[in-house]
Every structure is written in structure tokens, then in C-alpha cells.
Amino acid sequence: MNVSRDFPSVSHDLEKKLSKLKTAFEQETSENDFAALEERISDLREIVNCPRCHQSYTRAWSDSRENLLRDVQSLAAKSFGLIEKAASYRLSKDHRCINDYLKEVSRTTIRHGEVASFDHRSRVLFIGCGAMPLSCHILVRHFGCRVVGIDADLDAIEQSKELTKNSYQDRLSLEYGLGEQYPAKGFSHVMVASLVPEKEAILTHLHRSVDPGSKIVCRFGNGLQRLLNYPLKTGPRKEWERLWMLGDLASLYQTLVFSKR
């Protein structure tokens, strides 16, 4: 993605777009207007995919605009949760639709699983499974893994259990839990969802908790990608061996794969 050209008016346009989106998110989340919220999420995807917006962020940003971006990101995360719970409820009443949703996320999840060497012997902890634990489904279905999905939102976990009841009962379990506290010993792999905050605290906990050689697959978004994700430091880490980096700034999120030294 080429973001090297200069667009003098882009910074103002981006700030204006984010301000409008903040106002819209605030109103629509209070009204639980799911259709409108889905449109706002689509608007954010367009911004993340816009080279001119990335140019504005890197060349003409300020503390006030940074605070605006964080506000919009927080509202977007809340909106994702509301949309996911509503969709999970609908799917729990009509399981025929779940295959359509699985198709949307399967390609990326399968790619991550292939890179990190998932197979039927893998025991996976998925942090941030949400109300629609589709990635967990794919790991079980495609690789035959045993998966424990956790989330800090108790309502989301209850909804996910309703959605997945009678599915993969011997290989998929869903629990309430905090990523920075949940015991991770015995898991061969840990996946961290892009919308999980406090990723640095989680990595610190995982380094104390997981076995040597365990792989961590962490989805994140930096820069403007933070509108749809929570960030992660991407520099060298003496306690982790960095194996792979997947995605770029043109992606909706990026993924780092680590192994405990």
C-alpha cells in the first residue's frame, strides 16, 4: 500500500469522519440499533483500508486526534459485542445459518492454524472467544484440536454456550475467564483475539504460565487498525521467540506468532 504521497486536506477529513462516527456510535449503541451499528463498522473498515487515511495518521496526527481514535475504538469494540450477541442469538434459533458465518472467518483461522502447526494433538486456549466462538469451531472442525474458549464477558459466554450446545462436546468447552489470569499450563497453543485489550499483561501472564515451546498466536491492530482491534508492541522480546508476522497495514488486523523460549 503506497501512503507516501502528500494530501494536505486528508488530516482534517479523517478527523471529521471519526468525529461523526463517534457521535453515531454513541447514539446507536444506546438505541441497540444493530443494523446501523453494522454500517458504522463497515465505515471503519473503509477507513482502515484507505491509503490516504493512513498517510494522514502517520504524518499529521496529534494528541487530540489520538484521543478521538481511542474513543471511537472503544465504542466500536462495544458495538462488536452487541452485534455479536444479537447474531449469536439469531443463529442459536436457526443453526442452518451458522455455516455462512463460518465461511467468513475460516480462511484466516485456518491460515493461522497451519502456520502455528495446529493438529489433532493440539490443546488450544482461545482468549476472547466472544458470543460467537467461530474460530474455536473452525479449530475443532478443521484441525481436530481440543479447545477451551474463554471470555471476560459473562453474558457473551452464556450466549456462546447456547449457540454451541450439542456441538463438539468432547473437544470444545467455553468458560468465563480473564486472559491475564487464566491458567495456561498444559496448552500447546494460545490464541488471543484481536478485540482483547491488555495484550501486554496477557503476554506477561502467559510467559509465566505456559510450557516452554508453547506457541502464542496474537491478533492485533496498530495505527489506524486500532479502530477495529486492540494494539500490541511488535518489537523484539527477549522472553519470546518471534516466529511469524502475518498481515500488513492494509489488512483489517495483523497477527504475531511467538514461542516461549
Per-residue pLDDT tens for 80-107? Answer: 898 888 878 777 666 555 555 555 567 8
Query: Is the Cα dihedral 205, 209, 211, 214 positive or negative?
Result: negative
CB 146 within 8 A of CB 171: yes
Q: How many CB atoms lie within 10 A of CB 256?
A: 23
Residue ranges per structural domain of the chain:
10-95, 98-260
Q: Which phi and psi angles does 218 have, rounded to 5°?
A: -115, 115
Of 217, 182, 180, 219, which Cα lies nearest the Cα of 202? 180
Please tell me the distance from the alpha carbon of residue 83 to that of residue 19, in angstroms, as a whole number.
21
C-alpha cell at 169: 462436546
Q: What is the 3-state secondary structure (H, E, C) of 71-91?
A: HHHHHHHHHHHHHHHHHHHHH
Please tell me the distance from the alpha carbon of residue 33 to that of residue 169, in angstroms, as a whole number.
34
pLDDT, position 103: 58
Query: Is the Cα dihedral 134, 137, 141, 143 positive or negative?
Result: positive
Per-residue pLDDT tens for 133-163? Answer: 989 988 998 999 999 999 999 999 999 998 8
Q: What is the full DSSP assignment across 25-81? A: HHHHHHTT-HHHHHHHHHHHHHHHT-HHHHHHHHHS--HHHHHHHHHHHHHHHHHHH
The mean pLDDT of the chain is 87
pTM across the whole model: 0.88
Span 1-11, average pLDDT: 43
Residue linked to cell 493438529 = 119
CB 192 within 8 A of CB 217: yes
Q: What CATH number belongs to 98-260? A: 3.40.50.150
